[in-house]
Amino acid sequence: MRRARLMLVAVVAVVMVAGMTASAWAEFKAGVVDTVYVVNEYSRTKDANDDLKTEMDSLRAVAEPKFKRVQELQLRRDGFNRNSDEWKKANEEFVKAQVDYQAWFLPEQAKIEWKHRDVLLDMYRQIGIEATKIAKAKGLDIVYTKAFLMPPQIDVNEAQGLDDLKQRIINQRILFPIATDITDLTKDVLEGLNAQYKPKKPPETKAPAAPAAPAAPAAPATKG
């Protein structure tokens, strides 16, 4: 049902765009945002990455002795003859320890990943909100992501052979208009997000350079 709704929305959008008059197209204004660049340069991303590394390092520190215990049980089992009763008993202990370890570690890892999934999703929503605000202020009608317009226009005339031409036609994103002035909002969106976000660590400031040492006085001239 959801897919049908999305298809309906897409069809309606195509019909609306196709039905625009030439004068409407002349007034149609579009923008673009490089979401990858914004996320990478967003101050919140650095804090999120630092938090993720800290939490994963802490989990690994707790997991290490547990995992070593599993390895020790495996080595102990491998010290017995495979057909012996000792091996079978040691194998049961190893398998149980391995299952218990995975049953503990995987949910703990998933908790961290889901937490940071929510952070990334919230960042994406922030980008959308900021882009919408800027687009309205600039009087734009639509804002694309850079990924949607990459490449901005595929030249089918440069196709090398039948297969290449097929791929270029499949990957083509815009049929009309071929060339449109698109306002790049990437910098504006990034600046807006960073202005609103308070980093956990203040940016490092370089210590002022030490003043240059005064020049040594010239030696007095000697009389000949």
In this structure, is residue 37 part of a structural domain? Answer: yes
Q: Is residue 60 part of a domain?
A: yes
Single-letter amino acid code for the residue at 57:
D
Lowest-pLDDT range, 28-32, 45-49, 76-80, 126-130? 28-32
141 neighbors 13 (Cβ within 8 angstroms)? no
Could you write out the three-class secondary structure of 5-72? HHHHHHHHHHHHHHCCCHHHHHHCCEEEECHHHHHHHCHHHHHHHHHHHHHHHHHHHHHHHHHHHHHH
Res 218: pLDDT: 46
CB atoms inside a 10 Å sphere around CB 17: 13
Predicted TM-score of the model (pTM)? 0.65
Residue 44: what residue type?
R
Q: Quick one: average pLDDT of 136-150?
A: 88
CA–CA distance, 98 with 73 (Å, rounded to integer): 9
The mean pLDDT value for 181-207 works out to: 83
Flag whether 214 is in a domain: no
Residue 98 lies in a domain: yes
Q: What is the pLDDT of residues 159-190, one digit of tens each?
A: 788 887 888 778 777 766 554 578 899 999 99
Winning range, highest mean pLDDT, from 130-144, 172-186, 207-221: 130-144
Taking a C-beta distance cutoff of 8 angstroms, is the pair 193, 126 a contact?
A: yes
What CATH code is carried by the domain that includes residue 177?
Answer: 3.30.910.20
CA proximity to 190, closest of 48, 32, 41: 41
Poorest-confidence range of 79-88, 138-147, 159-168, 211-220?
A: 211-220
- The verdict on residue 58 lying in a domain is yes
Do 124 and 35 touch, CB atoms closer than 8 A?
Answer: yes
| Distance, CA of 17 to CA of 11 (rounded, Å) | 10
Q: Is residue 16 situated within a structural domain?
A: no
SS3 144: strand
Residue 185, SS3 per DSSP: coil
pLDDT, mean of residues 105-116:
95
Task: Indicate the pLDDT class of residue 120, thresholds 50, 70 and 90.
Answer: very high
β-strand 182-184 against 142-145: which pairing, if any?
unpaired
- d(C-alpha 163, C-alpha 170), whole Å: 11
Rounded CA separation 103/55 (Å): 19
Give SS3 for 31: strand
Residue 220 lies in a domain: no
Lowest average pLDDT, out of 16-20, 125-129, 180-184, 202-206, goes to 16-20
Domain hosting residue 137, numbered range: 26-196
For residue 81, being part of any structural domain is answered with yes
Q: DSSP letter for 159, please.
A: -
Tally of domains within the chain = 1
